[in-house]
Chains A and B, each alone.
Chain A
Amino acid sequence: MNDLVTQKAMGSVLERFYLAVERANDHIIMTDAQGVIVYANHAAEQTTGYSRSEMLGKTPALWGRQMEPAFYQKLWQTIGVEKRAFTGELKNKRKDGTLYDAEIRVSPILDESGNILFYVGVERDVTKLKDLDRAKTEFISLASHNLKGPVSAVKWYAEMLLTGDAGELPPKAREYTEEIHNAGGRMSDLVGSLLSISRIDLGTLAYEVGSCDIRSLVDEIVVDFARTPPPVPVFTVEVEEKLIPLTVDCDLLREIVRNLIGNAVNYNRNNEPVIIRAFHKRAGDEVYGRRFAEDRTVIVVADKGIGIPVSEQSKVFEQFFRATNAQAAIPNGTGLGLYLVLRIVGKMNGEIWFSSREGEGTEFYLALPYGVKAP
């Protein structure tokens, strides 16, 4: 009797599972180990525009194939070789030819000995979300651009007051005007970073590939920093001779290196020298714990400063994140510098990482391929 009840309940549980999948709002498919579709739910018909009979026996390439081959290679590497779930965003194509943005999650389902039984793919149409996100980014871009005019005015008038265009200022007035001037500088940094980030998001960031000599790039930045008010930062620059110029957008690379050096200077202590090294690494060589399949130019920026607390290290590249000790040392940072750096490095197909000990210092590592194609 009890068994019968259980069996009945089980039957209904399985049925409910089936219904849950079949009527779920998200597109769900199952494929065999070769990627051939063996099941597709109702939502899958709606997102792709193909009927189930059209999908069964085919692979998801039926509505896919809109991305670079590398995307699908990575997908198969993850689910088929590493046997891990893959999450990503991609473009797909409906039966009627329209493209849509989808967020996909593909999980390999393994048997007890770790063999792949089948795959489950869940897809969500995120076209509307993407459109909204784009509208938001366009708004930020426009707002930032329009803020630049008033910011320029604030900075220029404060500068005029400080340089005596309105006569000698009483000490307190000078002090307040300096605050206004500094705030203007911060606003302009913030607006500049927001604008760059929104341009990367919108894909409108100008990326002009040229030949970029690391030695002169570093020298230029170092000279700029030497012009700042005392204590003038001290630099040790070690650039490997005959380092091949990189094929990248030189202005953007300068932005990256300037940011890293700026952080090293700002969070340094006792005016210890900031060390900047640049060298070549062959394919397969170890580069501070990483290896690359092709040759890399490596740029290292190291300081003996306050360091980054271990508990906060995973957040260093996040938007608006600032480490607690960094905030205490310099209250007014934007928290956008390293985020922007990470985004630009991504554009260059490079990698950036760091090692840091709180109270001892930080080293940032930047590895860039030689010939970087325009994205």
Chain B
Amino acid sequence: MTPLQTDAVLVVEDDAALRKALVEHLTNEGFVVRTAENGVTGLATALSERPRLIILDLRLPALSGDELLHKLRGAEGPQPYVIVLTNDERMLTVGKTMDDGVTDYLVKADVTLARVVELARARFQTADTGHADS
């Protein structure tokens, strides 16, 4: 079993401007960042690279974020933390009931990058002391 890459964050986001902002800011904050611009490559990267944290949009081409999550949770092996980052609060409600494995739900238009970083750090700390694996 491939262990989780302890320093890696995967950003799955189809909006190029938002993806770039997340990647560059997280990189500047010291994270190792991988990206995917649709659900299919997002899932493939999540399974091959085994990042410890995924920042996931819900409205994605090819495979939606919640479908990605469902497939990921069905896959064997250690499970990454997932922060859902969406602009659709209605999908957010769907997500809440759908999967308890998601640690944070954030609305892009309301959240600051500082808050995303803060939550990502908190997840990494939990992972260092607790168990990300399920």
Contacts and interface: CB of A to CB of B under 8 A. Distances in A.
Interface in A168-192: 188, 191-192
A293 to B, nearest CB: 33
Interface string B116-131: 0000000000000000
Contact of A149 (B15, B25, B28): B15
Contact of A188 (B93, B109, B113): B109
A165 B25 contact: yes
Interface in A301-352: none
Given A148-B109, A159-B112, A192-B110, A153 B90 contact: no
Give the secondary structure class of A's interface: helix
A156 B25 contact: yes
A32 B109 CA distance: 58
A159 B116 CA distance: 12
Contacts of B99: none
A191 B28 contact: no
A264 to B, nearest CB: 21
B108 interface: yes
A208 B93 contact: yes
Q: Give the bracket for the number of chain B residues in contact with chain A.
A: 10 to 19
Contact of A145 (B17, B88, B110): B88
Contacts of A206: 89-90, 93
A157 B109 contact: no
B contact patch SS: helix
Contacts of A159: 112-114
B17 A160 contact: no
Contacts of A165: 24-25, 28
Contacts of A192: 109-110
Contacts of B113: 156, 159-160, 163
A232 B17 CA distance: 34
Nearest to A148: B87
Interface residues of A, number: 20
A153 B18 contact: yes
A289 B21 CA distance: 53
Contact of A152 (B28, B87, B90): B87
A153 B112 CA distance: 11
A145 B89 CA distance: 10
B9 to A, nearest CB: 16
A153 B25 contact: no
Interface in A268-315: none
A164 to B, nearest CB: 8
Interface string A134-162: 00000000000100111111011101100
A208 B93 CA distance: 10
Contacts of B89: 206
B108 A148 contact: yes
Interface in B54-103: 87-90, 93
13 contacts: A145-B87, A148-B108, A149-B17, A152-B108, A153-B21, A155-B109, A159-B112, A159-B114, A160-B24, A163-B113, A188-B109, A188-B110, A192-B109
Q: A-B pairs with the 10 shortest C-beta distances?
A: A148-B87, A152-B108, A153-B17, A156-B21, A188-B109, A148-B109, A152-B109, A151-B109, A165-B28, A159-B113
Interface of A: 145, 148-153, 155-157, 159-160, 163, 165, 188, 191-192, 204, 206, 208
